[in-house]
Amino acid sequence: MYKTKAYAAASATAPLASTTIPRRDPTEHDVQIEILFCGICHSDLHAVRNEWSEFMATTYPIVPGHEILGRVTKAGVAVTKFTPGDLAAVGCLVDSDRTCPRCQAGQENFCPNLTLTFNSPDKHLGGITNGGYSESIVVDERFVLHVPPNLGLAGAAPLLCAGITTYSPMRHWGITTGKKVGVVGLGGLGHMAVKFAHALGAHVVVFTTSPSKKEGALRLGADEVVVSRNADEMKKHAGSFDFILDAVSAEHDINTYLNLLAIDGNLTLVGAPAKPLGVSAFALLMGRRSLSGSNIGGLPETQEMLDFCGAHNITADVEVIPIQKINEAYDRLLKSEVKYRFSIDMASL
């Protein structure tokens, strides 16, 4: 075991503050990674403030962070995929049971015994796992991804959650040229969704509550932008979408968006508001529409997504901050004021 610097929250109402945490010494299949950048996901904020207490209560102190990009500093004797000096990335998962049908299908994200990067029981050290707001991390190489060398590092970090969470449902629902795709909420996830849908050849319409994001959305690859509070603009799109990805972090009316789906259209929720959302039966049954959800992605698909980003030169648009600005960043995230992802420069730690 060794000690490493980190930022943690001591309670749901405490600000994040500097601390020291233990990490295991790398075992034979582990790599030790010096963290260079870590993205700030809204899930970090939900967890720190214990907003998902009914579903996934937070154990304190919590070190969040699951958009981890760094460099390998040590590799265990049985490690085959990495050598010291390699770029390496870790997302929301650091372990799973590896034997269930989901794991065998490469869908570790649906394993009933998965270990999340933070706030999951730590099989090695006891207590709970500590995430990426930290100087270093030790992870089994099976849960570590390769990063294409052409990608900027600060902007590549958010691919590990915002990237895979939006890429996976688009692949699942067959987004391709000729499809009309809506993206609701232009935050960290939403802006990645726009980039992927555009790269896959879809006609992309962004729905935002922030008029100030209109021009930015077009630059990201949107074909149209609708300010969702404008009922007339919304009406123009009624019954027309093949697929809508909803990446909103707070309670909102999803029926408005269900009504924009074409017959057999699908709305996939990736946003995870704490409270249940009301669904109108008629919004679904009038067009044989479907409502579904999606949760990050498995390891093979995460590597596929990173390679796709390498081939298409896709990274997140980030505002790089020092870790000391973390609490201010959380306040701005809550006000939808980031374009479009914070990435922490871990050298500041």
Residues that bind ligand NAP (CB under 6 A): 41-43, 46, 161-162, 165, 185-190, 208-210, 213, 247-250, 252, 270-272, 294-296, 333, 336
d(CA 229, CA 116): 36
Site for Zn ion in 94-153 (CB under 5 A): none
d(CA 1, CA 50): 29
Q: Among 189, 197, 186, which residue's Cα sits nearest to residue 163?
A: 189
Closest distance to Zn ion from the beta carbon of 281 (Å)? 31
Burial string for 96-134 (b: 16+ CB within 10 Å, else e) reads beeebebbeeebbbbbeebbbbbbbebebeeebbbbbbb
Closest distance to ligand NAP from the beta carbon of 200 (Å)? 19
Look up tokens 């590092």; give the residue: 153
**Looking at the DSSP assignment, which residues form a beta bridge with residue 82?**
none
Closest distance to ligand NAP from the beta carbon of 41 (Å)? 5
Q: Which does 23 bind (CB under 5 to 8 A by kind): ligand NAP, Zn ion, none?
A: none
Span near Zn ion by CB under 5 A; candidates 41-49, 110-118, 145-153, 269-277: 41-49
CA angle 192, 206, 310 (to 5 degrees): 20
Q: Which does 302 bind (CB under 5 to 8 A by kind): ligand NAP, Zn ion, none?
A: none
Closest distance to ligand NAP from the beta carbon of 27 (Å)? 28
Per-residue contact flags (x/-) with Zn ion for residues 42 to 81, judged by CB under 5 A: -x--------------------------------------
At residue 113, the 3 state secondary structure works out as coil
d(CA 33, CA 79): 13
Q: Among 170, 88, 82, which residue's Cα sits nearest to residue 136?
A: 88
Task: Report the residue number whose CB is nearest to ligand NAP.
Answer: 187
Q: Which does 187 bind (CB under 5 to 8 A by kind): Zn ion, ligand NAP, none?
A: ligand NAP
Greatest Cα pair distance, the chain, in angstroms, is: 63
Closest distance to Zn ion from the beta carbon of 66 (Å)? 5
75 versus 333: smaller Cβ distance to ligand NAP: 333
Closest distance to ligand NAP from the beta carbon of 193 (Å)? 9
